[in-house]
Amino acid sequence: MSLDKSEALAALSWLLDAGADEALLDEPVDRFTAAAAKAAAPMPQSLRPTPEAVRPKTEFPKSAPSKPVAPMGDTDSIGRATEIAARCNSLGELKAALEAFEGLALKKLATNTVFADGTPDCHIMFIGEAPGREEDLAGLPFVGRAGKLLDKMLAAIGLDRKTNAYITNVINWRPPENRDPSPEEAATCLPFLRRHIELVAPEIIIVLGAVAARHVMGRTDGIMRLRGKWLEYHVNGRMVPVMPTLHPAYLLRRAIEKKLAWRDLQEIDEKIKSLGLLERGVARG
């Protein structure tokens, strides 16, 4: 399918907003030394799969290389969301704007707007998919079974949403029956999420699961292909490291994959230490 000039420019602009403006690092990285050090680190008990969860690994067919996903959805709703989000100059204003937004039918089916939880001043940002039943009732992200596992994952690398982690979702309202958000619903929420990221100004972003990786980074690769590899997102004129990893809800269904999540957490812990985020305290310069 060919694109006309305006469509091509729009796609290029979206890619730049997502941080896809370079393909190579400036310096080589010794992966062998890093891998050997990480392999020696013990896995926390909370992330170890139970014996009954250990089964032969299923082989998945290889997929074709992915292409960036362009936002889809109702143009008027996306335009209104973009204008409203751009006028927000604080997280409080953004939360109030979302609570007042009427451009998405999904909101009418939800009990609460689920905005975020944690400490934004730490600049360590986790982005999930969408609220579930417990989150919809509480008005907070990750408070159900998956949220409890996420808290254990954070604790394994010295993080806690009360002091040094900040958590939000791509979608701010629960999809019925916890289904995946549609491309139209995600496209309408994305202007708010992008502004959310700009206001938090994170120094590291962790995306939880394939849906979050697809909509935040514009990637259609499966999460097994994406996880464990550092990507970049353009925020306020700088590139921010992004680590895709497995969603805690998936780990509840496939406990055998906790070993992969633990490897990702070790990468995240190493990056946080290299950036000196915890040594600087909760407030940045």
State the pLDDT confidence band at 53, using cuts at 50, 70 and 90: low
Burial 170-190 (b: 16+ CB within 10 A, else e): bbbbbbeeeeebeebbbbbbb
User: In this predicted model, what pLDDT tens digit does every residue of 220-233 receive, in sequence order?
Assistant: 899 999 999 999 99
Q: What is the pTM assigned to this prediction?
A: 0.76
How far apart are the C-alpha atoms of 244 and 205, rounded to whole Å?
A: 9
Task: Kindly list the domain boundaries of the chain, sorted by start residue.
Answer: 72-275
Q: Is 55 a residue whose pLDDT tops 60?
A: no
Fold observed for domain 72-275:
Uracil-DNA Glycosylase, subunit E (3.40.470)
* CA nearest to 229, candidates 206, 199, 211: 206
What is the mean pLDDT of the segment spanning 58-69? 42
* CA nearest to 205, candidates 258, 166, 157, 237: 166
State the pLDDT confidence band at 66, using cuts at 50, 70 and 90: very low
How far apart are the C-alpha atoms of 7 and 2, rounded to whole Å?
A: 9
Compute the radius of gyration of the chain from its Cα atoms.
19
What is the mean pLDDT of the segment spanning 157-175? 97
